[in-house]
Structure 1
C-alpha cells in the first residue's frame, strides 16, 4: 500500500473519522482526497458515512465533512498501533507500540463499545424496527446515536464507556444536543458501561430507555 494511503488510514484510526481532518493530518490536498477516499472504500477497509446534515448554511452551501469508518475494529487497531511503526515492531522494538497503546487504547475501546451499543439498541426495538442508525454530527453538535424506526420515530442517544454511574443530567444533555441540532426526538436512549444513578433509573419509560453491559448478552442469542 502506498505511503500516502497508509498515512490517511493512520489519520482515520487516530481521529474521529472525518475525511477532511484525516487528509489534512496526512498532508493530502483536497483535490486528491476524493480519488484516494474512493480507492480506500473499494478495498473495503473503510466505509463512507455521511452527515445527516449536509450543509451548515443553505446560503453558502458550507458542507459538513463526511466520515470514513473502518469496517472492522481490527483494521482500526492495525492502522492506529501497528502499521505506522511496523518496522520497529519487526525489529523487536515495542517501546513506541506500548506508548501508543497506552495513550490511545481507551479511544479504540470506546469506538467498539459504541458499535456494539448500536446493535443492542437495534435489537431492543423489535416491535418497531430501526431502519437506520449511526452517529449524528454537524459543525457544532455531535450525538453518539441517531436512529429512525419504521413508524418514523426519532431516537437520540448517548453511549458512555465510563466507570462512573451516569446521572439524571445525561438526559438534559441529550435534550440540549437535540435542540441544538434541531432534532425532534421521540425516544432517548443511554447505553452505559457502569450503569445509572437511582435518580436516572426512576426516569426509565417507553420514551427513556437505559442499557448496561447486561443487555449486551442479547447479541449472543
Structure 2
C-alpha cells in the first residue's frame, strides 16, 4: 500500500512540474514529494527550499503540529525515525522513549497515516540443540521492525528542518544550508531505494510477487530482496552517488548473498550516475543495471495535473 501511494505521489509530482530529467525528478521529489506544490525545477533546489520551506517555516510548522497534536513524544519519535536506521527500538532509545510511551506514539503516527511499519523478515535465532542455549549476545538480540514515512517531505522536515528549527524561525539559515550540503546525498538515498523497489517490481509485474522490501538481520543488510511465487530471488542494491558504480559493488552484493546462503536469480543494481564499462559488459541474465533515466518507465501515460494523496490538503 505504501509503495502504491509513493508511486502516485511520484507521478503527481512529475505531472505538475515536468522536470527535465529523472535525476532532477528524484532529487526534488525526495524533498517536496507530498506537498502538492508547483515547483520550478529549473531553479537550484536550495533556492526552492528557501523560498517554499524556510521562508514559510511558521506556517508549515503549524500544520505539522496540527497533524501530530504537537505531542512532544510524537515529534521526538519522528525526528529519531528520520535520522536513524529506521529500526523501532533504536528510534525509541534515540528519542528517550520506552516501549510504552514510544509504542503509543508509534501507533498514533501510524493511524494518522504519517508512517508505515516495514516488518522484518528475519527468522528468530534457534539453537541447533533442542535443549541447548543460545549465546548471551544472540539471546539478547531483538528483531526490530523498521518505519517508512508515507510522504518524502515529512521525513525531510524532521531530517533537516527540525534540528535547526530555532535558528530557522529567527531567519538564520546558514547552519541548515551547510548541513543540507553535507547530507543531501545520504538523505536522498532512501527515497531512491524505495523508488527502485517500485521499478523492480514494475518490471516483474508479470510474476506473482510473494515478498518484497529491504532485508536486514544481525549480520547483513540488503536494500531490496524480492521473491516471486515461482521461487525466483532478486537481490538489489541502490547507489545514489555522483560516481559510476564499478564491479566491486557487484562483488559486495554476491558476498551478502553468500552470507544469507541464497543464490539469487538475478542481482540488480540501481545507480544515479550509471556504471563503469567493465561492469556494463557483465549485465545479462544474472545481472541487471538501472540508472536514473530508467525511472521514466514509471511515468508512462501520466497526464498533466494528475493528483495524488498529499500531506497538506491546502496549498502553503
Q: Same fold (TM over 0.5)?
A: yes
Q: Specify the SS of the correspondent of 1:53.
A: coil
Q: Output one character per residue of 1:163-202: Cα deviation in whole Å (capped at 9) or x when no partner.
A: 2222222222111101212333221111111212222222
Residue among 151, 161, 170 paired with 1:72:
151
* C-alpha separation in 1, matches of 2:179 and 2:281: 41
Residue among 33, 39, 50 paired with 2:119:
50
| Structure 2 alignment gaps of length 5 or more | 1-69, 128-133, 301-316
Structure with max Cα Rg:
2
| Structure 1 alignment gaps of length 5 or more | none
What residue is the counterpart of 1:95 in the other structure? 174
What residue is the counterpart of 2:273 in the other structure? 194
* C-alpha separation in 2, matches of 1:86 and 1:78: 10
Count of aligned residue pairs for this structure pair: 221
Superposed displacement of residue 14, structure 1: 0.9
Residue among 71, 74, 86 paired with 2:165:
86
What residue is the counterpart of 1:127 in the other structure? 206
* C-alpha separation in 2, matches of 1:25 and 1:137: 20
**8 Å contact from structure 1 (residues 49, 66) kept in 2:** yes
* C-alpha separation in 1, matches of 2:224 and 2:150: 18
Superposed displacement of residue 129, structure 1: 4.4
What residue is the counterpart of 1:2 in the other structure? 71
TM, length-normalised to structure 2 = 0.65
Q: Output one character per residue of 1:7-60: Cα deviation in whole Å (capped at 9) or x when no partner.
A: 111111112211122111111123433222212211111100111104244654
What residue is the counterpart of 1:33 in the other structure? 102
* C-alpha separation in 2, matches of 1:61 and 1:16: 19
Q: Specify the SS of the correspondent of 2:213.
A: strand
Indicate the RMSD between aligned Cα atoms, in angstroms: 2.0
**8 Å contact from structure 2 (residues 73, 102) kept in 1:** no
Higher relative contact order (CA 8 A, sep 6+): 2
Superposed displacement of residue 207, structure 1: 2.5
* C-alpha separation in 2, matches of 1:197 and 1:6: 43
What residue is the counterpart of 1:177 in the other structure? 256
* C-alpha separation in 2, matches of 1:56 and 1:104: 35
What residue is the counterpart of 1:16 in the other structure? 85
* C-alpha separation in 2, matches of 1:57 and 1:82: 43
More strand as a share of residues: 1
**8 Å contact from structure 1 (residues 159, 192) kept in 2:** yes
Residue among 229, 245, 261 paired with 1:166:
245
